[in-house]
Protein backbone atom coordinates (compact mmCIF):
# COMPACT_ATOMS: atom_id res chain seq x y z
CA UNK A 1 0.00 0.00 0.00
CA UNK A 2 1.58 3.26 -1.15
CA UNK A 3 1.14 6.15 1.32
CA UNK A 4 -2.51 5.50 2.18
CA UNK A 5 -4.86 8.30 3.13
CA UNK A 6 -5.18 8.64 6.92
CA UNK A 7 -8.05 10.29 8.80
CA UNK A 8 -8.23 11.00 12.53
CA UNK A 9 -11.37 10.76 14.69
CA UNK A 10 -11.18 11.63 18.38
CA UNK A 11 -11.86 14.41 20.85
CA UNK A 12 -9.66 17.32 19.67
CA UNK A 13 -8.57 18.26 23.19
CA UNK A 14 -6.95 14.82 23.56
CA UNK A 15 -5.09 14.93 20.25
CA UNK A 16 -2.11 16.96 21.43
CA UNK A 17 -1.37 14.32 24.08
CA UNK A 18 -2.11 11.17 22.08
CA UNK A 19 -0.84 12.46 18.75
CA UNK A 20 1.72 15.21 19.39
CA UNK A 21 3.36 16.94 16.45
CA UNK A 22 6.19 14.41 16.17
CA UNK A 23 3.72 11.52 15.76
CA UNK A 24 1.55 13.49 13.32
CA UNK A 25 4.66 14.14 11.19
CA UNK A 26 5.50 10.46 11.34
CA UNK A 27 1.99 9.49 10.23
CA UNK A 28 2.24 11.94 7.33
CA UNK A 29 5.43 10.17 6.28
CA UNK A 30 3.97 6.69 6.56
CA UNK A 31 0.79 7.79 4.76
CA UNK A 32 -1.01 10.95 3.72
CA UNK A 33 -2.62 12.64 6.71
CA UNK A 34 -5.61 14.29 5.07
CA UNK A 35 -6.28 16.71 7.93
CA UNK A 36 -4.48 17.01 11.29
CA UNK A 37 -7.74 18.24 12.85
CA UNK A 38 -9.64 15.13 13.98
CA UNK A 39 -13.24 14.43 13.14
CA UNK A 40 -15.69 14.75 16.00
CA UNK A 41 -18.61 13.50 13.94
CA UNK A 42 -18.69 10.90 11.22
CA UNK A 43 -21.90 12.08 9.59
CA UNK A 44 -21.38 15.72 8.57
CA UNK A 45 -20.14 17.15 5.25
CA UNK A 46 -16.48 17.36 6.32
CA UNK A 47 -16.55 13.79 7.60
CA UNK A 48 -18.13 12.48 4.41
CA UNK A 49 -15.50 14.26 2.31
CA UNK A 50 -12.54 12.93 4.30
CA UNK A 51 -13.95 9.44 4.82
CA UNK A 52 -14.60 9.05 1.09
CA UNK A 53 -10.81 9.02 0.65
CA UNK A 54 -9.80 7.36 3.89
CA UNK A 55 -7.92 4.08 3.79
CA UNK A 56 -6.88 4.20 7.44
CA UNK A 57 -8.92 5.62 10.32
CA UNK A 58 -7.25 6.37 13.65
CA UNK A 59 -9.77 6.73 16.47
CA UNK A 60 -9.30 7.67 20.11
CA UNK A 61 -11.07 8.84 23.25
CA UNK A 62 -14.19 10.82 22.40
CA UNK A 63 -14.48 9.34 18.91
CA UNK A 64 -17.92 8.98 17.41
CA UNK A 65 -19.28 5.45 17.19
CA UNK A 66 -18.02 3.68 14.08
CA UNK A 67 -21.19 1.98 12.91
CA UNK A 68 -22.06 -0.29 9.99
CA UNK A 69 -22.71 2.69 7.71
CA UNK A 70 -18.98 3.44 7.62
CA UNK A 71 -18.53 0.91 4.81
CA UNK A 72 -20.76 3.04 2.59
CA UNK A 73 -19.24 6.44 3.40
CA UNK A 74 -15.66 5.10 3.48
CA UNK A 75 -15.52 2.52 0.67
CA UNK A 76 -11.70 2.51 0.61
CA UNK A 77 -11.27 1.98 4.36
CA UNK A 78 -9.03 -0.99 5.17
CA UNK A 79 -7.77 -0.38 8.71
CA UNK A 80 -9.05 1.16 11.93
CA UNK A 81 -6.54 1.68 14.74
CA UNK A 82 -7.98 2.75 18.08
CA UNK A 83 -5.32 4.87 19.83
CA UNK A 84 -6.82 4.23 23.25
CA UNK A 85 -7.97 1.28 25.34
CA UNK A 86 -10.93 -0.94 24.61
CA UNK A 87 -12.73 -0.79 21.27
CA UNK A 88 -16.00 -1.76 22.95
CA UNK A 89 -18.54 0.99 22.51
CA UNK A 90 -16.52 2.49 19.65
CA UNK A 91 -16.35 -0.15 16.89
CA UNK A 92 -19.49 -1.94 15.69
CA UNK A 93 -19.25 -5.68 15.06
CA UNK A 94 -20.35 -5.03 11.47
CA UNK A 95 -16.93 -3.48 10.81
CA UNK A 96 -15.36 -6.92 11.05
CA UNK A 97 -17.97 -8.33 8.65
CA UNK A 98 -17.03 -5.61 6.16
CA UNK A 99 -13.48 -6.96 6.03
CA UNK A 100 -11.93 -3.95 7.74
CA UNK A 101 -8.95 -4.79 9.95
CA UNK A 102 -9.11 -3.46 13.52
CA UNK A 103 -6.24 -2.84 15.91
CA UNK A 104 -5.81 -0.90 19.14
CA UNK A 105 -3.32 0.58 21.60
CA UNK A 106 -4.68 -1.09 24.73
CA UNK A 107 -1.24 -2.59 25.35
CA UNK A 108 0.12 0.93 25.78
CA UNK A 109 -2.67 1.76 28.22
CA UNK A 110 -1.82 -1.38 30.20
CA UNK A 111 1.66 -0.12 31.05
CA UNK A 112 0.69 2.74 33.42
CA UNK A 113 -2.14 0.69 34.95
CA UNK A 114 0.35 -2.03 35.85
CA UNK A 115 2.79 0.56 37.22
CA UNK A 116 0.06 2.16 39.32
CA UNK A 117 -0.99 -1.25 40.60
CA UNK A 118 2.57 -2.12 41.58
CA UNK A 119 2.84 1.12 43.56
CA UNK A 120 -0.51 0.43 45.24
CA UNK A 121 0.56 -3.10 46.18
CA UNK A 122 3.83 -1.92 47.71
CA UNK A 123 2.12 0.86 49.66
CA UNK A 124 -0.63 -1.52 50.80
CA UNK A 125 1.92 -4.04 52.04
CA UNK A 126 3.60 -1.34 54.14
CA UNK A 127 0.19 -0.07 55.37
CA UNK A 128 1.44 3.33 54.20
CA UNK A 129 -1.96 5.01 54.18
CA UNK A 130 -2.77 4.02 57.75
CA UNK A 131 0.68 5.11 58.92
CA UNK A 132 0.15 8.45 57.21
CA UNK A 133 -3.13 9.07 59.00
CA UNK A 134 -1.81 8.04 62.41
CA UNK A 135 1.31 10.17 62.04
CA UNK A 136 -0.65 13.25 60.92
CA UNK A 137 -3.19 12.80 63.72
CA UNK A 138 -0.59 12.66 66.51
CA UNK A 139 2.36 14.51 64.94
CA UNK A 140 4.67 12.03 66.67
CA UNK A 141 5.45 8.34 66.59
CA UNK A 142 3.75 7.20 69.77
CA UNK A 143 0.96 5.50 67.83
CA UNK A 144 3.02 4.40 64.84
CA UNK A 145 5.69 2.49 66.79
CA UNK A 146 3.26 -0.19 68.07
CA UNK A 147 1.87 -0.65 64.55
CA UNK A 148 5.38 -1.32 63.23
CA UNK A 149 5.49 -4.50 65.32
CA UNK A 150 2.48 -5.91 63.44
CA UNK A 151 2.81 -8.36 60.53
CA UNK A 152 3.19 -5.70 57.87
CA UNK A 153 5.64 -5.17 55.02
CA UNK A 154 6.04 -6.83 51.64
CA UNK A 155 8.45 -9.70 52.31
CA UNK A 156 6.63 -13.01 51.98
CA UNK A 157 3.21 -11.45 51.43
CA UNK A 158 0.53 -13.48 49.66
CA UNK A 159 -0.83 -11.57 46.71
CA UNK A 160 -3.95 -12.52 44.75
CA UNK A 161 -4.33 -11.53 41.10
CA UNK A 162 -7.84 -11.83 39.66
CA UNK A 163 -7.56 -12.09 35.90
CA UNK A 164 -4.51 -12.97 33.80
CA UNK A 165 -5.48 -10.21 31.40
CA UNK A 166 -3.07 -7.98 29.50
CA UNK A 167 -2.73 -5.83 32.62
CA UNK A 168 -2.80 -8.74 35.06
CA UNK A 169 0.13 -10.36 33.28
CA UNK A 170 2.08 -7.09 33.26
CA UNK A 171 1.52 -6.74 36.99
CA UNK A 172 2.79 -10.28 37.54
CA UNK A 173 5.87 -9.46 35.45
CA UNK A 174 6.56 -6.29 37.46
CA UNK A 175 6.27 -8.27 40.68
CA UNK A 176 9.06 -10.70 39.77
CA UNK A 177 11.83 -8.81 41.65
CA UNK A 178 9.76 -8.97 44.85
CA UNK A 179 9.34 -11.97 47.11
CA UNK A 180 5.59 -12.45 47.01
CA UNK A 181 3.60 -15.65 46.99
CA UNK A 182 1.33 -15.20 43.98
CA UNK A 183 -2.16 -16.67 43.66
CA UNK A 184 -4.01 -16.41 40.35
CA UNK A 185 -7.68 -16.83 39.55
CA UNK A 186 -8.60 -16.95 35.89
CA UNK A 187 -10.89 -19.62 34.45
CA UNK A 188 -9.11 -19.33 31.08
CA UNK A 189 -5.70 -20.25 32.55
CA UNK A 190 -4.75 -23.76 33.63
CA UNK A 191 -2.40 -24.72 36.44
CA UNK A 192 0.60 -25.22 34.14
CA UNK A 193 0.24 -21.80 32.53
CA UNK A 194 -0.23 -20.17 35.92
CA UNK A 195 2.94 -21.87 37.16
CA UNK A 196 4.75 -20.58 34.09
CA UNK A 197 3.73 -17.09 35.12
CA UNK A 198 5.07 -17.73 38.60
CA UNK A 199 1.70 -18.09 40.29
CA UNK A 200 -0.44 -20.79 41.89
CA UNK A 201 -3.78 -21.30 40.18
CA UNK A 202 -6.64 -21.23 42.70
CA UNK A 203 -10.37 -20.76 42.71
CA UNK A 204 -11.69 -17.30 43.54
CA UNK A 205 -12.94 -18.09 47.04
CA UNK A 206 -9.60 -19.59 47.99
CA UNK A 207 -7.78 -16.55 46.64
CA UNK A 208 -9.97 -14.21 48.67
CA UNK A 209 -9.39 -16.28 51.79
CA UNK A 210 -5.60 -16.60 51.52
CA UNK A 211 -4.42 -13.31 50.01
CA UNK A 212 -3.13 -10.37 52.01
CA UNK A 213 -3.62 -8.11 48.98
CA UNK A 214 -6.12 -8.72 46.17
CA UNK A 215 -5.81 -6.91 42.83
CA UNK A 216 -8.56 -7.00 40.18
CA UNK A 217 -7.69 -7.26 36.49
CA UNK A 218 -10.72 -9.04 35.03
CA UNK A 219 -12.75 -7.70 32.08
CA UNK A 220 -16.26 -6.34 32.47
CA UNK A 221 -18.47 -9.15 31.18
CA UNK A 222 -21.93 -10.37 32.25
CA UNK A 223 -20.19 -13.22 34.06
CA UNK A 224 -17.85 -10.92 35.99
CA UNK A 225 -20.30 -8.25 37.17
CA UNK A 226 -20.35 -8.17 40.99
CA UNK A 227 -18.01 -11.17 41.06
CA UNK A 228 -16.66 -9.64 44.28
CA UNK A 229 -19.84 -9.75 46.37
CA UNK A 230 -20.62 -9.69 50.09
CA UNK A 231 -19.88 -13.38 50.49
CA UNK A 232 -16.43 -13.11 48.93
CA UNK A 233 -15.58 -9.88 50.71
CA UNK A 234 -16.32 -11.63 53.99
CA UNK A 235 -13.61 -14.16 53.16
CA UNK A 236 -10.87 -11.52 53.24
CA UNK A 237 -8.63 -11.74 56.29
CA UNK A 238 -8.50 -8.85 58.73
CA UNK A 239 -6.08 -6.19 57.45
CA UNK A 240 -6.32 -7.32 53.82
CA UNK A 241 -6.34 -4.73 51.00
CA UNK A 242 -8.52 -4.84 47.89
CA UNK A 243 -7.22 -2.96 44.83
CA UNK A 244 -9.45 -2.18 41.85
CA UNK A 245 -7.95 -0.58 38.74
CA UNK A 246 -10.15 -2.62 36.38
CA UNK A 247 -13.88 -1.79 36.33
CA UNK A 248 -16.17 -0.66 39.14
CA UNK A 249 -18.89 -3.07 38.09
CA UNK A 250 -16.74 -6.03 39.15
CA UNK A 251 -17.50 -5.25 42.79
CA UNK A 252 -20.80 -5.06 44.64
CA UNK A 253 -19.97 -1.61 45.96
CA UNK A 254 -22.74 -1.53 48.54
CA UNK A 255 -21.30 -4.71 50.03
CA UNK A 256 -17.77 -3.30 49.83
CA UNK A 257 -18.72 -0.10 51.62
CA UNK A 258 -20.50 -2.11 54.30
CA UNK A 259 -17.33 -4.15 54.85
CA UNK A 260 -15.10 -1.07 54.77
CA UNK A 261 -17.20 0.67 57.41
CA UNK A 262 -16.14 -1.99 59.90
CA UNK A 263 -12.51 -0.94 59.41
CA UNK A 264 -11.58 -4.60 58.95
CA UNK A 265 -10.06 -4.21 55.47
CA UNK A 266 -8.56 -1.47 53.29
CA UNK A 267 -9.23 -0.58 49.67
CA UNK A 268 -7.43 1.22 46.86
CA UNK A 269 -10.14 2.24 44.41
CA UNK A 270 -9.38 3.87 41.06
CA UNK A 271 -12.61 2.88 39.28
CA UNK A 272 -16.19 2.95 40.52
CA UNK A 273 -19.70 2.29 39.28
CA UNK A 274 -20.89 4.88 38.40
CA UNK A 275 -17.59 6.30 37.24
CA UNK A 276 -17.91 9.28 39.57
CA UNK A 277 -19.41 8.26 42.93
CA UNK A 278 -22.32 10.27 44.26
CA UNK A 279 -21.26 13.31 46.29
CA UNK A 280 -22.34 11.64 49.53
CA UNK A 281 -20.57 8.35 48.85
CA UNK A 282 -18.53 6.91 51.71
CA UNK A 283 -15.74 6.25 49.23
CA UNK A 284 -14.77 9.90 49.75
CA UNK A 285 -14.81 9.81 53.53
CA UNK A 286 -13.74 6.44 54.88
CA UNK A 287 -10.17 6.58 56.22
CA UNK A 288 -9.37 3.08 54.99
CA UNK A 289 -10.14 3.95 51.35
CA UNK A 290 -7.54 5.43 49.02
CA UNK A 291 -9.71 6.83 46.20
CA UNK A 292 -8.39 8.18 42.89
CA UNK A 293 -10.35 9.46 39.85
CA UNK A 294 -9.52 6.77 37.26
CA UNK A 295 -5.91 7.84 36.84
CA UNK A 296 -4.25 4.43 36.69
CA UNK A 297 -4.57 4.36 32.90
CA UNK A 298 -2.69 6.59 30.50
CA UNK A 299 -2.86 10.27 31.43
CA UNK A 300 -0.76 13.28 30.47
CA UNK A 301 2.64 12.29 29.10
CA UNK A 302 1.71 8.61 29.09
CA UNK A 303 -0.85 9.14 26.32
CA UNK A 304 1.83 9.71 23.69
CA UNK A 305 2.66 6.02 24.05
CA UNK A 306 -0.83 5.25 22.68
CA UNK A 307 -0.22 7.38 19.60
CA UNK A 308 3.22 5.89 19.04
CA UNK A 309 1.78 2.38 19.22
CA UNK A 310 -0.97 3.31 16.77
CA UNK A 311 1.61 4.74 14.36
CA UNK A 312 3.65 1.53 14.68
CA UNK A 313 0.61 -0.52 13.70
CA UNK A 314 -0.12 1.74 10.73
CA UNK A 315 3.47 1.33 9.54
CA UNK A 316 3.29 -2.45 9.90
CA UNK A 317 0.06 -2.50 7.92
CA UNK A 318 1.40 -0.32 5.10
CA UNK A 319 4.57 -2.40 4.77
CA UNK A 320 2.74 -5.71 4.76
CA UNK A 321 3.96 -6.92 8.15
CA UNK A 322 1.70 -8.69 10.66
CA UNK A 323 -0.04 -6.43 13.17
CA UNK A 324 0.89 -6.96 16.80
CA UNK A 325 -2.39 -5.83 18.35
CA UNK A 326 -5.09 -6.87 15.88
CA UNK A 327 -8.58 -7.42 17.30
CA UNK A 328 -10.82 -10.04 15.74
CA UNK A 329 -14.54 -10.29 16.13
CA UNK A 330 -14.31 -13.32 18.42
CA UNK A 331 -12.00 -11.38 20.74
CA UNK A 332 -14.80 -8.97 21.65
CA UNK A 333 -16.39 -11.52 24.01
CA UNK A 334 -13.41 -11.60 26.33
CA UNK A 335 -11.76 -8.18 26.19
CA UNK A 336 -12.44 -5.48 28.77
Alpha-carbon distances, residue 173 vs 117, 183, 196 (angstroms): 12, 14, 11
Q: Are residues 170 and 241 in the same domain?
A: yes
Q: Are residues 89 and 51 in the same domain?
A: yes
Q: Are residues 30 and 71 in the same domain?
A: yes
pLDDT grade for 198, boundaries at 50, 70 and 90 = very high
From the list 247, 303, 305, 316, the catalytic residue is: 247
For 80, the 3-state DSSP assignment is strand
Kindly state the average pLDDT of the residues 47-75: 95
Annotated catalytic residue 104: no
Q: Are residues 48 and 140 in the same domain?
A: no
HEC per residue, 138-182: HCCCCCHHHHHCCCCCCCCCEEEEECCCHHHHHHHHHCCCCCCEE
Q: Are residues 258 and 185 in the same domain?
A: yes
Question: Is residue 306 in a domain?
Answer: yes
Over 90: is that where the pLDDT of 68 sits?
A: yes
Question: Is residue 65 in a domain?
Answer: yes
pLDDT grade for 70, boundaries at 50, 70 and 90 = very high
What pLDDT does 145 receive?
Answer: 66
Q: Are residues 159 and 243 in the same domain?
A: yes
Annotated catalytic residue 294: yes
Q: By the 8 A CB rule, do 189 and 201 touch? A: yes
Question: Is residue 104 in a domain?
Answer: no
Question: Is residue 302 in a domain?
Answer: yes
- Torsion from C-alpha of 46, 9, 73, 42, nearest 10 degrees: -60
pLDDT grade for 39, boundaries at 50, 70 and 90 = very high
Q: Are residues 150 and 272 in the same domain?
A: yes
From the list 37, 203, 275, 278, the catalytic residue is: 275
Q: By the 8 A CB rule, do 217 and 167 touch? A: yes
Q: Are residues 243 and 143 in the same domain?
A: yes
Question: Is residue 239 in a domain?
Answer: yes
Kindly state the average pLDDT of the residues 280-288: 96
What pLDDT does 151 receive?
Answer: 79
Q: Are residues 119 and 54 in the same domain?
A: no
Q: Across the chain, what does the average pLDDT equal?
A: 94
Q: Are residues 61 and 153 in the same domain?
A: no
From the list 78, 107, 294, 315, the catalytic residue is: 294
Question: Is residue 155 in a domain?
Answer: yes
Burial degree of 155 (CB within 10 A; 0-12, 13-18, 19+): exposed
Question: Is residue 103 in a domain?
Answer: no
Distance of CA 58 to the CA centre of its chain: 20
With a pLDDT cut of 90, the percent of the chain lying above it is: 86
* φ/ψ (deg, to 5) at 164: -90, 55
What tens digit of pLDDT does each residue of 119-177 get? 999 999 999 998 888 888 887 777 676 767 777 899 999 999 999 999 999 999 999 99
Kindly state the average pLDDT of the residues 298-302: 93
Question: Is residue 19 in a domain?
Answer: yes
Kindly state the average pLDDT of the residues 46-61: 96
Over 60: is that where the pLDDT of 81 sits?
A: yes
Kindly state the average pLDDT of the residues 231-244: 97
Domain range enclosing 122: 109-289
What pLDDT does 64 receive?
Answer: 93
Q: Are residues 210 and 68 in the same domain?
A: no
What pLDDT does 315 receive?
Answer: 97
Strand ranges for the chain from DSSP E: 5-9, 32-33, 56-59, 79-82, 101-104, 158-162, 181-185, 200-201, 213-216, 241-244, 266-269, 289-291, 326-327
What pLDDT does 331 receive?
Answer: 84
Over 80: is that where the pLDDT of 335 sits?
A: no
For 288, the 3-state DSSP assignment is coil
Query: Total structural domains in the chain?
Result: 2
Q: Are residues 199 and 313 in the same domain?
A: no
Domain CATH number, residue 304: 3.40.50.720
What pLDDT does 130 receive?
Answer: 84
Please tell me the pTM assigned to this model: 0.91
Over 60: is that where the pLDDT of 1 sits?
A: no
Annotated catalytic residue 247: yes
What pLDDT does 139 receive?
Answer: 78
Amino acid sequence: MNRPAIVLAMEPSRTEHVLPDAILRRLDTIGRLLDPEPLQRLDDARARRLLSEAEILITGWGAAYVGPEIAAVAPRLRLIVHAAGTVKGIIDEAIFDAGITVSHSAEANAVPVAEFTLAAILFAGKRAFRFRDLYVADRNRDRTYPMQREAIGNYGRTLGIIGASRIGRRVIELLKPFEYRLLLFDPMVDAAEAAGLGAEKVELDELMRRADIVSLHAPSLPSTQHMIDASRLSLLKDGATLINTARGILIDEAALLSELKTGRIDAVIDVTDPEIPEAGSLFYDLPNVFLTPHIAGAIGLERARLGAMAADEVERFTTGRPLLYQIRRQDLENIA
